[in-house]
Chains A and B, each alone.
Chain A
């Protein structure tokens, strides 16, 4: 348990000293949300209708940022080998690194999404739905990415192939996330059914990432 916490604390420390912690993904998130109205026009009715979908799409893309360095940086300076050789099972070490990554990307995005909802003319109820669905859904996005990051850890240039591998794995979270987030704006559909499935997908992604990532990192 102490090793688990130590990995999280170390990654948060590195993120705060190099990447400005959660600030840069947030800026990227804001950038994507800003771009959409330029592409489809400033019609507030349209924006409020597709707003939840825009926020979810932006969250999925923002999650991809920095994923390729998640294990690569550790593989280069040798700390990955130390982590794998330690008493902590590799599966748990991967969950710890993924959790630290989520704390600096997914969590800030979910917490700030109501603010960005204002730009897209969302109703307060829709903002709450989007924030709640992002809060439980972004772990699914992050851990889908962690799987890909572990697979490409020892590649010099893994960025593009990582995105191509990971994006199809994000589809289920995107579908259920958007249908939960749109419950308020569309009206008819219920919020809780997709929300609960989204929770299940997040938990499943954590398990898959832990097992698959460990198998990939242990390597030949």
Chain B
């Protein structure tokens, strides 16, 4: 399947056909999921209505890692097969992943204020999510620093894989750091184990958000491919007009 998709023209044709269905499925699942969340899910006996923040927060946290994984797989494609579609997949995933990471942090802060009484704690999970956001931002900055897209793709691929090796180390060390400094006051949300009336809407919403992320990723890839075509055409045009100018100048000198 990957070899079929590896041709950019075929990728554009296929993704153009899949994308509307994907987007509609994502919208349907999200509408259904949130209808369940707001109509049927009971208020939590401790947290009241704020528990509904979970239905954005948890999928966002999950997708922040999932998109990094997509980026890492595309990075392998870039380094091993040097394939332009892999470059494009890598580039399109970074801003979406950063957006979900940011969404996770913001909803977490909004949830934390009424529940924990503070917007932010240097809890191990929060801190590693923040570091993940920093790594995403660094990767997006690295994309912009290069002029040549293929050189950028290679550097970013190396950085993404270095980040993939480092993320568990960072997670592990942040856990160590946190448990060392505040062992007694670790915040725990595992009060009630989650009931099936809350779990099903969560799974539906998570599936909806995943399809949304995939749809955004596909459309981002399509935009990037078109952008590269425009760039190639512009360069071609510039080269041709340069040749024309040189021709006119030469004939002018002949006169």
Write the residues of chain A forming the contact surface with B, with a CB cutoff of 8 angstroms: 147, 151-152, 154-155, 157-158, 161, 164-165, 167-169, 171-172, 175-176, 179, 189, 194, 197, 201, 204, 208, 212, 215-216, 219-220
Contact = CB atoms under 8 A, between A and B. Distances in A.
B133 to A, nearest CB: 10
A191 to B, nearest CB: 13
B132 to A, nearest CB: 9
Interface in B123-150: 131, 134-135, 137-138, 141-142, 145-146, 150
B169 A216 contact: no
B151 A179 contact: no
Given A155-B145, A201-B169, A215-B158, A168 B174 contact: no
Contacts of B151: 154, 219-220
Nearest to A157: B145
Interface in B158-193: 158-159, 161-163, 165-166, 169-170, 172-174, 176-177, 180
Contact of B170 (A165, A172, A208, A216): A172
A1 B176 CA distance: 39
A83 B161 CA distance: 25
Given A179-B177, A216-B155, A168 B161 contact: no
B82 interface: yes
Contacts of B162: 147, 169, 208, 212
B83 interface: no
Contacts of B138: 161, 164-165, 168
B180 A176 contact: no
A167 B163 CA distance: 12
Given A175-B173, A212-B162, A220 B145 contact: no
A169 B177 contact: no
Interface string B27-66: 0000000000000000000000000000000000000000
Q: Is the interface of A mostly helix, strand, loop or mixed?
A: helix
Nearest to B171: A172
12 contacts: A152-B145, A165-B159, A167-B134, A168-B131, A168-B166, A172-B170, A172-B173, A175-B176, A212-B158, A212-B161, A216-B154, A220-B151
Contacts of A201: 169
Given A171-B173, A172-B173, A219 B141 contact: no
Contacts of A158: 145
B174 A175 contact: yes
Contact of A220 (B135, B142, B150): B150
B79 interface: yes
Contacts of B134: 164, 167-168
A166 to B, nearest CB: 9
A220 B82 contact: yes
Given A161-B142, A175-B176, A216-B158, A168 B135 contact: yes
